[in-house]
C-alpha cells in the first residue's frame, strides 16, 4: 500500500512569452465535455479580435496568479463542488512590441542600470491583462485593456470618462494600464447583471475611495433581502431591485432611470457617461429571450443636430451622441453600440442599440433599452433630469438673449468634482477677482452639477449647482463667465445669476 | 398690536430660504427675467416628457436580467 500523502506543495510560477497567435484561441486548451457550448467561446474570439485592433504582438503568460475576484468566487461557490477547482488563475499580459523569451529574460535580469529603460520599454508597449479562470465555460476573468483611441475609423469621436488607472505587478516591474475592468459571467456566482454592475462600481468606488465588491459580494448583497429567483447561488440573474440593493451595500446610491424616448435617453447617457459614471443598461434583445444587462463605459459622438423646433433657440449637445461603448459579457470590453429609434408598434417608438464587433460592421445583436441603473456617490442627489429642467430654460434664455449666435447656443449638463472645477477655472480667462472668488471664496459641494452653455467655438458661461440638493431650481451656486461670453453680455448673465440666487463670477 | 398685524409680521419672518426673491432693479433685469420665464414655458413640453423618467414602473424594477453566455 502506498502511504497516504499529507500536505500540499507550494505552487510554482512560470512566465512564458509567446507571439500573439493568428487565432487567439490557440492559447487555450479546448476543454473536454463542452457539448452544448461553442468553441472557441465568443468572448475569447472577441478579445482576440480586440487585441488585434490594438496591435498586440506579444503575450506574456503567468502560470499562477491569485485573483481577488476569482478566489472570492471559489470561497463562495466552487470550493464546495465535487470537482476540486484550483484557487488560482493564469494571467495573460499583452504588449504591442514583439519580443521573445530570451529578450524577456534580458529585460528581467539585465544590469541594474538598464532597469529604468527596460521598465520604460515594457510600459510603453503594455496593452493590459486578462485573468484566465480555470472554468471551462467561462474562462475570461478580470480583464483590463485600453480603449481604441479617440477617433473611430468612420471619423466619429470616442470619449471614455469612466476609465481609471490599474497598477499591475509583473516580474518585479510595476506597470499601469488605463481602462475599466471587464469580466465574463460564470453563471455560478454571477450573471450578466452582476458583471455589468461590477464594472460600473469598479470605476466609481475606486474614485470615491470605497472598497470594490467582488462578483460574489454583489450577488450575495443583491440577494440578502429579496430573492425572487429562489436562491442566490448559482446565480439566476438579478432584477433592477436587486441591483439597487447591491449598489447600496457598496456604499453608493442607485439612480434608476427608465427609458422614455431616444432624445431623453441620449441626454441621460451623455450626462452620466461624460461625468465618469457608468450606467448599467437593462436591455431586451429584439430576438427575444430574457432581459440582458451591460455596462455603458463610453460615448461615440458625431455632429450636433440643429434645433428642429422653430420655437426654440438652442441646441442640445446630446443630439451628437451616435452610440455608446459597452462592456457586454457575451462579447467583451468596449463593444460598439449605435443608439437608434426603433418602432416597436405603430404608437410606440423605443430606444434601441445595435451592438457590433470591434473594428468591423458585423452586428452581434439589436436590443431595446428598458432602463439605466447608475451607481453614484450617496451625496449626489441632483439627477440629470432635474439638472436639465433648469438647463433647458437657461439654454433657451441664452439663445434668445445672445441672438447673435443664431440658435447655435448649446446645452450640456454634467457633474464635476468641486475640486476639479476649481482647478479648471484657471483656464477660463476670468478676471483676477473672479478666479479668486471661484478658488477661495465659493463653497462647493463635493460634486457640482454643471450646466454648460456653449457655442461652436467655445463656452459662454456655466451655471454651477449644488448636487446635494434634489431640485436644480433653488440650488444654483454660481454663474461663471467663460471666455466667449460677448462683451456687454455680462449684465444679462448678472441678471440670470440674481434671479437664480447665485453668485456671479466674471 | 392687533391680531391682523401680528399675523402679517409672522408671515414676513417665515420664509422658505435665506434670501427673498428680489424685485428687478433695472429695465435689463426685468427683460432678462421675462425672457427666462418665457423660456421656462417654451421648454415645458420637453421637461414634462423627461420627467416621466422619474416614475419607476414595477415592471422596470422587477425585470430579471439573465442572459446566458
pLDDT digits (tens, 9 = 90+) for B21-41: 788 889 999 999 999 999 999
Q: pLDDT tens, A426-437?
A: 999 999 999 999
Residue A50 lies in a domain: yes
Q: How many interchain CB pairs under 8 A, A with B?
A: 139
Residue A396 lies in a domain: yes
Pairwise CB contact (< 8 Å): A290 & B67: yes
Indicate if A172 and A288 belong to the same structural domain. no
A401 touching chain B per CB within 8 A: yes
- Please give, one letter per residue, the 3-state secondary structure of A392-434: HHHHHHHHHHCHHHCCCCEEEEEEEEHHHHHHHHHHCCCCHHH
Q: Is residue A332 pLDDT above 50, yes or no?
A: yes
Residue A67, strand partner residues: none
Residue A440 lies in a domain: yes
Q: What is the mean pLDDT of residues A42-57?
A: 96
- In angstroms, the Cα distances linking A441 to A416, A450, A505, B46 are 18, 18, 10, 36
Indicate if A351 and A450 belong to the same structural domain. no
Interface test with B, best of A45, A185, A240 (most B CBs within 10 A): A240
Residues of chain B with C-beta less than 8 angstroms from the C-beta of A235: 66
Residue A180 lies in a domain: yes
Pairwise CB contact (< 8 Å): A241 & B62: yes
A489 touching chain B per CB within 8 A: no
Choosing from A219, A246, A267, the residue where a domain stops is: A219
A234 touching chain B per CB within 8 A: no
What is the residue range of A101's domain? Answer: 15-219
Q: What is the mean pLDDT of residues A66-83?
A: 96
Residue A9 lies in a domain: no
A471 touching chain B per CB within 8 A: no
Q: Is residue A3 pLDDT above 80, yes or no?
A: yes
- In angstroms, the Cα distances linking A74 to A12, A154, A427 are 20, 44, 50
A257 touching chain B per CB within 8 A: yes
Q: pLDDT tens, A374-398?
A: 999 999 999 999 999 999 999 999 9
CB-closest option in A264, A370, A499 to B63: A370
Q: Is residue A225 pLDDT above 60, yes or no?
A: yes
In chain A, the residue whose alpha carbon lies closest to the alpha carbon of B55 is A258
Choice between A35 and A110, residue whose per-residue pLDDT is larger: A110
Choosing from A345, A361, A377, the residue where a domain stops is: A377
Residues of chain A with C-beta less than 8 angstroms from the C-beta of B38: 400
Residue A157 lies in a domain: yes
Q: Is residue B8 pLDDT above 80, yes or no?
A: no
Pairwise CB contact (< 8 Å): A383 & B54: yes
The Cα of B4 is separated from the nearest Cα of chain A by a number of Å equal to: 31
Q: What is the mean pLDDT of residues A77-96?
A: 96
SS3 assignment, position A171: coil
Q: What is the mean pLDDT of residues A47-76?
A: 97
Indicate if A394 and A373 belong to the same structural domain. no
Indicate if A302 and A351 belong to the same structural domain. yes
CA A440 to CA A81: how far, in whole Å?
Answer: 60
Give the residue from B59, B63, B64 showing the smallest Cα distance to A235.
B64
Instruction: Identify the pLDDT of residue B68.
Output: 64
Pairwise CB contact (< 8 Å): B53 & A389: no
- In chain B, DSSP finds a helix count (H) and a strand count (E) of 4, 1
Residue A146 lies in a domain: yes
Instruction: Identify the pLDDT of residue A487.
Output: 87
Q: What pairing do the DSSP bridges indicate for beta strands A332-345 and A292-301?
A: unpaired
Indicate if A331 and A349 belong to the same structural domain. yes
Residues of chain A with C-beta less than 8 angstroms from the C-beta of B34: none
End-to-end CA distance of chain A: 90
Indicate if A354 and A391 belong to the same structural domain. no
Q: pLDDT tens, A299-308?
A: 999 999 999 9
Instruction: Identify the pLDDT of residue B13.
Output: 58
For CA atoms A144, A92, A136, A82, give the dihedral sign: negative
Instruction: Identify the pLDDT of residue A5.
Output: 86
Residues of chain A with C-beta less than 8 angstroms from the C-beta of B50: 260, 264, 267, 385, 388-389
Pairwise CB contact (< 8 Å): B69 & A41: yes
Please report the ipTM that was assigned to this predicted complex.
0.84
**Which B residues in the span 47-66 are in contact with A, Cβ-Cβ below 8 Å?**
47, 49-57, 60-66
How many domains is chain A partitioned into structurally? 3
**Which B residues in the span 3-22 are in contact with A, Cβ-Cβ below 8 Å?**
17, 19, 21-22
CA B65 to CA A159: how far, in whole Å?
Answer: 27
Indicate if A497 and A371 belong to the same structural domain. no
The Cα of A385 is separated from the nearest Cα of chain B by a number of Å equal to: 6
Run of H or E residues at A166? strand A164-170
Q: What is the mean pLDDT of residues A46-50?
A: 96
Q: What is the mean pLDDT of residues A130-149?
A: 96
- In chain A, DSSP finds a helix count (H) and a strand count (E) of 12, 22
Pick from A124-128, A236-240, A299-303, A495-499: least confident: A236-240
CATH of residue A321's domain is: 3.90.70
Pick from A11-25, A118-132, A435-449, B51-65: least confident: B51-65
Indicate if A308 and A415 belong to the same structural domain. no
In chain A, the residue whose alpha carbon lies closest to the alpha carbon of B63 is A239
The Cα of A76 is separated from the nearest Cα of chain B by a number of Å equal to: 20
The Cα of B12 is separated from the nearest Cα of chain A by a number of Å equal to: 19
**Which A residues in the span 114-173 are in contact with B, Cβ-Cβ below 8 Å?**
137
Instruction: Identify the pLDDT of residue B53.
Output: 80
Q: Is residue A36 pLDDT above 80, yes or no?
A: no
Indicate if A412 and A335 belong to the same structural domain. no
CB-closest option in B51, B53, B66 to A192: B66
Choice between A229 and A465, residue whose per-residue pLDDT is larger: A465
Position B1 confidence tier, pLDDT thresholds 50, 70, 90: very low
Q: Is residue B11 pLDDT above 60, yes or no?
A: no
Indicate if A287 and A399 belong to the same structural domain. no
Q: pLDDT tens, A361-378?
A: 778 889 999 999 999 999
Pairwise CB contact (< 8 Å): A239 & B54: no
Pick from A93-102, A141-150, B26-35, B53-62: least confident: B53-62
Indicate if A348 and A399 belong to the same structural domain. no
Residue A253 lies in a domain: no
Choosing from A162, A194, A219, the residue where a domain stops is: A219
Residue A10 C-alpha cell reads as: 507550494
The Cα of A255 is separated from the nearest Cα of chain B by a number of Å equal to: 10
Indicate if A280 and A399 belong to the same structural domain. no
Q: What is the mean pLDDT of residues A150-155?
A: 89
CB-closest option in B17, B36, B65 to A293: B65
The Cα of A105 is separated from the nearest Cα of chain B by a number of Å equal to: 39
Pairwise CB contact (< 8 Å): A396 & B39: yes
Give the Cβ contact number of residue A416 at 10 Å. 22
Instruction: Identify the pLDDT of residue B69.
Output: 57
Choice between A227 and B64, residue whose per-residue pLDDT is larger: B64
CB-closest option in B28, B36, B47 to A499: B36
Determine what percent of chain A is predicted with pLDDT higher than 70.
99
Q: pLDDT tens, A228-279?
A: 767 778 878 899 999 999 999 999 999 999 999 999 999 999 999 999 999 9
- Report chain A's mean pLDDT, rounded to a whole number: 94
Residues of chain B with C-beta less than 8 angstroms from the C-beta of A286: none
Does the global pTM surpass 0.90?
Answer: yes
The Cα of A94 is separated from the nearest Cα of chain B by a number of Å equal to: 25
Amino acid at each position: 500500500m502506498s502511504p497516504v500523502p499529507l500536505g500540499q506543495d507550494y505552487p510554482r510560477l512560470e512566465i512564458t512569452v509567446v507571439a500573439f497567435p493568428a487565432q487567439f484561441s490557440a492559447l487555450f486548451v479546448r476543454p473536454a465535455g463542452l457539448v452544448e457550448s461553442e468553441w472557441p467561446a465568443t468572448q475569447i474570439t472577441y478579445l482576440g479580435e480586440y487585441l488585434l485592433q490594438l496591435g498586440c504582438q506579444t503575450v506574456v503568460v503567468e502560470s499562477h496568479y491569485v485573483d481577488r475576484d476569482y478566489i472570492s468566487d471559489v470561497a463562495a461557490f466552487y470550493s464546495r463542488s465535487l470537482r476540486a477547482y484550483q484557487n488560482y488563475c493564469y494571467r495573460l499580459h499583452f504588449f504591442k512590441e514583439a519580443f521573445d523569451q530570451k529578450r524577456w529574460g534580458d529585460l528581467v535580469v539585465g544590469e541594474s542600470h538598464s532597469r529604468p529603460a527596460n521598465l520604460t520599454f515594457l510600459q510603453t508597449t503594455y496593452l493590459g491583462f486578462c485573468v484566465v479562470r480555470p472554468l471551462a465555460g467561462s474562462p475570461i476573468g478580470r480583464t483590463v485593456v485600453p480603449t481604441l483611441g479617440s477617433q473611430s475609423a468612420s471619423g466619429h469621436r470616442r470619449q471614455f470618462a469612466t476609465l481609471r488607472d490599474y497598477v499591475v505587478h509583473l516580474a518585479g516591474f510595476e506597470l499601469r494600464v488605463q481602462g475599466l475592468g471587464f469580466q465574463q459571467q460564470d453563471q455560478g456566482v454571477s450573471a450578466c447583471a452582476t458583471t455589468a454592475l461590477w464594472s460600473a462600481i469598479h470605476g466609481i468606488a475606486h474614485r470615491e475611495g470605497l472598497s470594490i465588491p467582488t462578483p460574489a459580494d454583489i450577488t450575495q448583497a443583491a440577494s440578502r433581502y429579496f430573492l425572487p429567483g429562489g436562491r442566490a447561488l448559482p446565480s439566476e440573474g438579478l432584477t433592477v431591485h436587486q441591483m439597487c440593493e447591491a449598489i447600496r451595500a457598496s456604499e453608493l446610491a442607485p439612480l434608476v432611470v427608465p427609458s422614455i424616448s431616444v432624445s431623453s435617453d441620449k441626454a441621460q447617457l451623455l450626462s452620466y457617461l461624460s461625468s465618469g459614471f457608468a450606467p448599467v443598461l437593462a436591455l431586451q434583445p429584439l430576438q427575444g429571450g430574457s432581459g440582458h444587462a451591460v455596462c455603458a463605459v463610453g460615448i461615440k459622438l458625431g455632429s450636433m443636430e440643429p434645433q428642429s423646433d422653430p420655437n426654440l433657440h438652442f441646441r442640445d449637445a446630446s443630439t451628437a451622441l451616435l452610440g455608446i461603448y459597452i462592456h457586454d459579457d457575451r462579447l467583451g470590453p468596449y463593444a460598439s453600440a449605435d443608439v437608434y429609434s426603433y418602432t416597436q408598434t405603430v404608437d410606440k417608438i423605443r430606444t434601441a442599440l445595435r451592438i457590433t464587433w470591434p473594428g468591423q460592421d458585423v452586428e452581434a445583436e439589436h436590443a431595446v433599452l428598458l432602463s439605466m441603473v447608475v451607481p453614484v456617490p450617496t451625496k449626489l442627489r441632483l439627477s440629470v433630469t432635474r439638472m436639465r429642467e433648469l438647463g433647458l430654460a437657461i439654454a433657451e434664455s441664452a439663445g434668445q438673449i445672445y441672438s447673435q449666435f443664431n440658435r447655435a447656443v448649446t446645452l450640456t449638463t454634467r457633474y464635476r468634482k468641486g475640486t476639479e472645477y476649481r482647478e479648471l477655472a484657471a483656464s477660463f480667462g476670468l478676471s483676477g477677482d473672479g478666479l479668486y472668488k471661484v478658488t477661495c471664496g465659493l463653497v462647493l459641494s463635493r460634486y457640482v452639477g454643471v450646466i454648460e452653455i456653449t457655442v461652436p467655438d467655445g463656452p459662454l458661461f456655466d451655471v454651477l449647482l449644488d448636487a446635494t440638493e434634489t431640485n436644480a431650481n433653488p440650488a444654483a451656486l454660481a454663474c461663471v463667465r467663460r471666455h466667449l461670453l460677448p462683451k456687454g453680455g455680462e449684465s444679462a448673465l448678472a441678471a440670470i445669476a440674481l434671479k437664480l440666487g447665485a453668485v456671479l463670477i466674471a | 398690536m392687533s391680531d391682523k398685524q401680528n399675523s402679517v409680521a409672522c408671515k414676513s419672518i417665515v420664509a422658505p430660504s435665506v434670501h427673498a426673491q428680489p424685485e428687478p432693479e433695472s429695465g435689463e433685469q426685468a427683460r432678462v427675467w421675462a425672457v427666462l420665464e418665457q423660456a421656462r414655458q417654451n421648454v415645458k413640453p420637453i421637461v414634462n416628457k423627461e420627467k416621466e423618467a422619474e416614475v419607476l414602473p414595477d415592471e422596470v424594477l422587477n425585470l430579471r436580467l439573465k442572459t446566458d453566455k
